[in-house]
Amino acid sequence: MKKRAALSRERFTRSAAFLPCAGLLAGLLAGTVSVLYRLCLSFASEALGRVLAFARGSLPLTALWFLVLLALAFAVSLLVRREPLIGGSGIPQLESEIKGKIDSRWLRVLVCKFTGGFLCLLGGLSLGREGPSIQLGAMAGKGLSRALRQTGEEEHALLSCGASAGLAAAFHAPAAGVLFCLEEVHHTFTPRLLIPLMTAVLSADLVSIGVFGPSPVFQFAPQADFTPALYLLILPLGLLLGVLGSFYNVATLRAVRFLQRESGLPVFVRIALPFLTAGVLAFTVPALLGSGHELVEEAAAGEFLVQTLLLLLLGKFLFSLLSFSSGAPGGIFFPLLVLGSLIGCAYGVLAVRLFELDPAFLGVFLLLGMAGNFAAIVRAPFTGAILLFEMTGSLHCLLPLLAVSLIASVTADALRVEPIYDALASGRVRRTGKPSPELNEGKT
């Protein structure tokens, strides 16, 4: 009987139905992890707001909060020293693992990344949840592959399924989850991988809907029709975003190289820098704290002048740069969308004034800024356009989103600036080597 069961199991794992079924299970696991992570980060954001409201105006409580920030930085530094692969967004680590350059210990990475990301958002660092959600989902997929005794291509497929599911659950964006893996992680389209990815993102999205409901991430959906004449305004915006996105990549890579390799600072010191900066900003410009979701909503409501938008853009850029380059667990995915929203909103305010457009177009230009900035930095234009479409549910903006994403991506390519995740992944491989004993000893 046991021999017959083992034979049946072996036949199933070799059949065409195995990967879609395993992808479905990977999506459920990764979606559950991503949803739990999102819930914990929401709690961290609310707790941070309550603490700051309570401490504001009291010098002893303010001093106490800075001590708490140092304690949080110390805890995060311990986690990063314990498991170096949790530093940053996690997407470069995933790309390196898919290519067989590293072999992470899935359980340790999952636990340390989850805890470290929560502590960073509790402290107010300008980091996103989406990159970590992708890495957490990938580690859940890897854990499933080990449970099913799969290696090689099958394990890489389940890693991809988990990563896609993590993004789908984090953004309520299943199509973007599939496109991200095909366009950014694998850089190719294969029918054998497509079906498991689809089953994974659908199951993960069902988990997300069951907890957060079917509403899109952003509660504004511009309904203004973009006439053919208005496409002339997309060209300069796309060119601008391509240039600024290229500058972002160069600045980020140089900051990462300086803080993590050239400065010689201990892990605790460089991670404490953004925590202490967050403490200062908490009592001066609290809008710059966290991933920036509320900042996007406020900008979409038209509450800021152009000068204010530009100052917020500069502050958010510098704080995000410091937060990410410190090596703390957290991503640039959502912060770069926030930066794009501020660029697009400032451009939209000027366009509405100069050409006497309907103020409803302000929200459209904000979305165009987000999609174009993502495309210029990550070099995944279709993912950026579909992602912003799913995050708002606005059909009116789909073609303009595709147009600005393509223009921004082509502009960044013309400037010969490497996509951010590819550059970070190659830098990580240079630092760790191939193969790396510290990464391969003892697999969980």
Read out DSSP for 23-44?
A: HHHHHHHHHHHHHHHHHHHHHH
Residue whose token pair is 């940053």: 88
How far apart are the C-alpha atoms of 408 and 310, rounded to whole Å?
20
How far apart are the C-alpha atoms of 251 and 367, rounded to whole Å?
24
pLDDT of amino acid 188 = 76
pLDDT of amino acid 444 = 38
Query: Please, what is the end-to-end C-alpha distance for the chain in angstroms?
Result: 30
How far apart are the C-alpha atoms of 423 and 113, rounded to whole Å?
21
Q: How far is CA 396 from the centre of its chain?
A: 25
Residues 267-299: pLDDT tens digits?
A: 999 999 999 999 999 999 999 998 888 898 888
- The answer regarding whether domain 228-430 maps to CATH 1.10.3080.10 reads yes
Read out DSSP for 280-346?
A: HHHTT-GGGSSS-HHHHHHHHTT---HHHHHHHHHHHHHHHHHHHHTT-B-BSHHHHHHHHHHHHHH
Q: So what CATH class is 17-212? A: mainly alpha
Give the dihedral sign, CA 61/67/73/78.
negative
Q: How far is CA 212 from the centre of its chain?
A: 19
Phi, psi of 128 (to 5 degrees): -100, 165
Is residue 129 predicted with pLDDT exceeding 90? no
381 near 402, Cβ under 8 Å?
yes
pLDDT of amino acid 441 = 35
How do the domains of the chain map onto residue ranges? Answer: 17-212, 228-430
Nearest to 378 by CA among 321, 423, 313: 423
pLDDT of amino acid 2 = 56
Residues 353-403: pLDDT tens digits?
A: 898 888 888 888 999 999 999 999 999 899 889 988 888 877 778 889 999
Task: Give the pLDDT mean for 302-308.
Answer: 87
Domains 17-212 and 228-430 share a fold: yes
Helix axes 191-212, 152-171, angle to 10 degrees: 30
Average pLDDT, the chain: 87
83 near 139, Cβ under 8 Å?
no
pLDDT of amino acid 102 = 85
pLDDT of amino acid 7 = 53
> Within a 10 A sphere around the Cβ of 138, how many other Cβ atoms?
34
What is the amino acid identity at position 283?
F
399 near 366, Cβ under 8 Å?
no
Q: Which residues contact 28 (CB under 8 A, 6 or more apart)?
A: 203, 204, 207
Share in percent of the chain as helix, strand, coil (round to 5)? 80, 0, 20
